[in-house]
Amino acid sequence: MTISGFISAIHCQGNLVRFRFGFSGVEIASPIQHVRNFATTSTRRCNVVVDDPQSVREQCKLGFSSVHIPVSIFRQLNCFRPRPSIVVFNQLFNAMCKIKPHPPLSTVVTFSNQLELSGLRPDRHSIGILANCYCRLGRVDFAFSLLGKGIKLGYPLHIVIITTLLNGLVASDKLPMAIQLLDKAVKLGIQPDLITYGAMFKGLCRIGDNAGALHLLRNMECKTPFKPNVVIYSTHIDSLCKDQLLSQALDLFKEMKAKGILPNVVTYNTLIRGLCSLGQWEEAKDLLSEMSNNGIAPDVNTYITLIDMYCKEGNVNEARAILELMTNRGMLPDLITYNALLDGYCLREEMTKAENLVDIMVKDGIVPDIVTFSTLINGYCKSKQVNKAVVMVEDMCLNETHITPDVVTYSTLIDALCKENRLQFALQMFEEMKDRGVAPDVVTYNSLLDGLLKNSQVDRAISRRREMENKGVAPNIRTYNVIINGLCEARRLAEAV
């Protein structure tokens, strides 16, 4: 394929992405007001004074914790005469893209466009940075246009920008298009590197194509100068674990170690989580010991997995000890960690300890979410403290918690009320959830049907069953068991048959 042919293919590819897959409906958040706000406050909030471009390079190497300083630096650089080269701006934009947790990508796009409009021509690296921004913003079509623009400006095609586009397509679940792009690049003599293969690996594993991922891994070993590294092995192991193909994941784990590729904390975390998900607690503990013996320190994700494991085992005291160990090592527990431990207390019906844990959680600055409240409500219902669960749901409805009940919350409470023979209250809650726009699911209906039938309200139960059908809620095996048992108890055997 010629370069001109490749440009044409890129143009078609961009149109295909934009129109066939509906990217045009995705809007990039406008940074204009965002930048204006910073423009009026950056001088007040930042005391950075740019003396020369060299100082900018040093600042960019250190990185930025927020967008205020780089916005101020950009404004000052833009006032320099003569203006600094595009290289300096590239360094600034690259550093801005690394700001965590929310890099100001749309601001980088705006600044880059301002420079070009003012006559500062982008170089190959500028185009790469901008393409990366567009891909991360979900606008792969714009990134494809930049690739064509770079070729027209005389910049040779490079594997870095191809890999950027591949990552963008993979993130947008457009793996077939990514494969087409890579094939075209290879035909033009552009050789993939390890990062390119990593992007394709990520795409295959993202869609659960473990066979394709293994085929690519074997091809890398036999047909390329690049050998799979720990990232590629870990990605594949993670995909296998997610599909519960644990024996294959462990085989791949043994293979990588036999080839001298040392597993890292991500590899171990993935396998430990996979073992725990299948209830293989002892094997998970053995792997944790191996990890420790190999000098690999556990991270936050390791601790979260262990806390969840011990809670599901019913060993909440061990889980609490791990939480304290985690805190002592300077790792702050997050919401997921607290929710896992909270679930452990609620499963054991230790509601006082659960309430104390929520108090600690809030004092630590962690804001409870719907999972926190649903877990507590489930705990109250299991421990026969249904009134406390009712009060909590009412508080949620009054927006006292700033979190609204979902279908799980309502279903848990309705089930508990039916089991306590408070059927009228359960029906009231059922109507309330519908009024609030929360659609009942099969679990909700099953609880209500069971409550009605046990109270000999067969006709009302049949009416609710019809409502369930009309709403498109498919019955499950429990639905049929509840109805058949209820009809038999009411001696309406003909209807049961």
**Could you tell me the CA-to-CA distances from 198 to 125, 138, 182, 228, 311 in Å, in that order?**
21, 20, 13, 9, 35
Q: Is the CB of residue 169 less than 8 Å from the CB of residue 199?
A: no
Q: Which of 331, 284, 290, 336 is nearest to 310 (CA)?
A: 284
pLDDT in the model for residue 47? 58
CA atoms within 13 A on the CB side of 351: 16
**Could you tell me the CA-to-CA distances from 235 to 172, 198, 276, 312 in Å, in that order?**
18, 9, 18, 26
Cβ count within 10 A of residue 493: 10
DSSP assignment letter at 157:
P
Quick one: how far is CA 286 from the chain centroid?
Answer: 28
pLDDT in the model for residue 346? 92
Q: Is the CB of residue 413 less than 8 Å from the CB of residue 451?
A: no
pLDDT in the model for residue 36? 39
Residues whose CB falls within 8 Å of the CB of residue 470, separated by 6 or more in sequence, listed in order: none
pLDDT in the model for residue 35? 37
φ and ψ at 382, to 5 degrees?
A: -65, -35
Report residues of the chain scoring pLDDT below 70.
1-47, 400-401, 493-497
Q: Is the CB of residue 204 less than 8 Å from the CB of residue 166?
A: no
101: preceding bond cis by omega (within 30 degrees) = yes
pLDDT in the model for residue 325? 86
How does DSSP assign 317-361, residue by residue? Answer: HHHHHHHHHHHHTTPPP-HHHHHHHHHHHHHTT-HHHHHHHHHHH
pLDDT in the model for residue 245? 94
Report how far residue 186's alpha carbon sits from residue 121's, in angstroms, rounded to the nearest whole number: 29
pLDDT in the model for residue 445? 94
**This prediction's pTM:** 0.67
pLDDT in the model for residue 409? 92
